[in-house]
Each structure stands twice: as C-alpha cells, then as structure tokens.
Amino acid sequence: METSTKHNQSSLTSTNLRAKMQRYPLFFFFLIAYLSSWILSVPFILSEWGVLHGDFTIIFAIKSFGPFLAAYVIIRITEGKEGLHRLRQRIKQKQASLVWYLLILLGIPTILMVGIIIQPGALANFQGLNATLLLRYPLTFIVVIFGGGPLGEEPGWRGFALPRMQFRYGPLVGTLLLGVLWTGWHLPDFLTSAQGGGPGTGFSTFLINFPIFFLLVMALAIIFTWIFNHTKGSIFIAVLAHASVNTPQVVLVPLFPSLNTTTLNLAAMIGFGIPALLILLFTRGTLGYPSYQDQKVN
C-alpha cells in the first residue's frame, strides 16, 4: 500500500510538472537552457582559476548544447513526436535565395572585418593574409558549427524561443527580450578567458566588457531575427549565420595581434550595430515578421 501511494504521488508530481511545462514553455525552456549550460561551465571555470587540474575544454564546448537540449525536452513534453519532427525539418530546411547565403557567408564576416579595421591601431602588426586561410576557413567553419555554439544554441534560441516570443510580444520586443536572455546565458563566460576574464582580472574588467558584449548580442539578435523571418524560420540558416560570426574570430582575428577581447567585441558591436539600426529603420521594427507569417514552414 505504501509503495502504491508513493508511486501515485510520484505520478501526480510528474503530471503537475508536465502541465506547468505546457502552460509555461518559455520559462522552462530558459530554465533548462541556463541550468544545463551553467552547470557544465563550472569545471572549465574552476580549471582556469586553478581549483581543478585538467583540460575541460570539451565539456565547455558541450555546454553550448544547453539551448538545444532545452528545446528538445520542452517540445517532447508539450508537442510530442510530431513537434520534434517539425524541429528536425526546420534544422534541415536549406531552401533560401542565393542572396541570403551570400549575405550570411560573405557579408557577415566582411561586416566584422570592417568593424575591426576602423578601430584605431587595429592594423598595427597585422599578420597579412595567406593562401592557407582559404583551406583553414571552411574547415574551421564546420568545426565551429558543431563545437563552437551555432548548432548547440540556434535550435533553442531561434528554433524554439524566437517564434513563440515574436507571437507573444511582437517581433521587436520579442527579439529584444531574447537578446537579453541570450546575453545572460553567456554570463559564466566572463569568469573565463573566453570573455576576457579569469585569474588576474577583477570586477572592473567585467564592467567594461559586459556592456559592450550586451550591445553586440542585441545587434546580432536583431540581425538574426531579420534573417530568420526572411528564410521561412530556417534553423539551418540561423546556424550558418551564427557560425559566420564565430568563425572569423578563430581564423581571421588572430591576424590582428593588437586586438584583445574588449577591442574585438567593440569592433563587432560597431560593425553589427550599424546594420542592426538600419534594419530597425527600414523595417520600422517589424524585422520581416510579416514575411515569416506568410511563408513559414510548419
């Protein structure tokens, strides 16, 4: 009897949790995304601060899949297998105009490079371009997709959260809210060298780097929403856009040894901030949402 009672209580608790997830899918999505990623960040952070010994880089890379995990869990609970099938279809959805591919694969890196070049002193000790970059860039691009954030994050941010936030709050407010939460998800990174933190840095470093990073992410959120809305909600395209932001930081930015985390983020903020403002101006804040509503793939 006691075992049966405990089983019934457990089933009731599970049912209540499922009901709450169905009622508040966005809340539980961000909760799972944050907790899973932040917990996986701990070993890497402690190793950088000398508390743990060992290389935890792989675990730090895996933590980027927190948003993907969160999207999978919530969709599995609230929409079942059909919902997961729709998510997979949008991840594989490659259909888009050639213009969008050119804008993403060539335009985004160019914008970042322009932002860097206009920085005072950025060209000091410039290493120069070489033929090996033509091989390294596409190979690194693929590695970045799987281990540098894009595939781990975009099925969550743009795949799950953005459609629901645009529907609930409108394209502009929904995008800005997502930008804030996307920024917050990165907070543990500021305790590591990934965002200019780590041993030897203090709170003053954070007070400089975080506002710049925040504005950068907000600009990217606007640009990514605009791209997302004009490519039928394709997660595949969103992954490529994210990779086109991150890959130059691995391959091209080292050619500018005078840059540090602060100046790099500042350059990116300026580079992406200008087109983000232009998108806001010319779309009057709709960010292409009417196009998404007309053409989205269910």
What lies within 8 Å, CB to CB, of 73 at 6+ separation is: 32
pLDDT given for residue 298 in this prediction: 43
Q: In the chain, what are the domain boundaries?
A: 2-295
CA dist., res. 66 & res. 161, Å (int): 13
Q: How much is the pTM?
A: 0.92
What lies within 8 Å, CB to CB, of 122 at 6+ separation is: 116, 256, 258, 259, 263, 267
pLDDT given for residue 259 in this prediction: 87
Tens of pLDDT along 27-48? Answer: 999 999 999 999 999 999 999 9
For residue 187, which of 221, 218, 213 has the smallest C-alpha distance?
213
Tens of pLDDT along 222-238? Answer: 999 999 999 999 999 99
Tens of pLDDT along 164-221? Answer: 999 999 999 999 999 999 999 999 999 998 888 888 888 888 999 999 999 999 999 9
pLDDT given for residue 119 in this prediction: 85
pLDDT reading at 1 higher than 60: no
CA dist., res. 165 & res. 286, Å (int): 13
